[in-house]
Structure 1
Amino acid sequence: MTARLLAVCTVSALRPDAGTVGITAIDKTPVAGPVKVGPYGVYADVQADRKHHGGLDKALYAYAQEDARFWEQELGRALPPGFFGENLRTEGIDVNAARIGEIWRIGDSVEVEVTMPRTPCQTFARWVGGDDERGWVKRFSAERRLGPYLKVLRPGRVAAGDEITIVDRPDGAPSILDVFRAPA
Structure 2
Amino acid sequence: MKYGKEKEVDTAICKETVEETFLKKVGFCGDGVADLRHHGGLDRAVCVYPYEHYLLWEQEFKISLPPAAFGENLTVTNMLERDVCIGDIYRLGEAVIQVTQGRIPCSTITKRTGIPKLLKRMVETGYTGFLCRVLGEGTVKKDSNIVLVEPHPKKVSIFSANQIYFQKSGDDDGLKNVLEVKELAGEWRDQLTKRLGK
Same fold per superposition (TM over 0.5):
yes
- Give identity over the alignment, percent: 33
Coordinate RMSD, CA, aligned: 2.0
Matched, 1:143 2:125: yes
Matched, 1:28 2:21: no
Q: TM-score, normalised by structure 2?
A: 0.74
**d(CA) in 2 for partners of 1:89, 1:175:** 18
Give 3-state SS (helix, strand or coil) of 2:42's partner: coil
The answer to whether the 8 Å contact 2:81/2:159 transfers is no
The answer to whether the 8 Å contact 1:64/1:94 transfers is yes
Bigger proportion of residues as helix: 2
Give 3-state SS (helix, strand or coil) of 2:166's partner: coil
Question: Closer, same or farther in 2 for the Cα pair 1:30/1:97, shift >3 Å?
Answer: same
- Aligned counterparts, 1:5-154, within 5 A: 15=1, 23-31=10-18, 33-107=19-93, 109-129=94-114, 133-154=115-136
Shift of 1:67: 1.4
The answer to whether the 8 Å contact 2:81/2:157 transfers is no
Give 3-state SS (helix, strand or coil) of 1:29's partner: coil
Q: What number of residue pairs does the alignment pair up?
A: 161
Bigger proportion of residues as strand: 1
Aligned counterpart, 1:182: 166
**Structure 2: runs of 5+ lacking an equivalent:** 4-8, 168-198
Hey, which bits of structure 1, 4+ residues long, moved more than 4 A?
A: none
Higher relative contact order (CA 8 A, sep 6+): 1
Aligned counterpart, 1:6: none
Question: Closer, same or farther in 2 for the Cα pair 1:170/1:97, shift >3 Å?
Answer: same
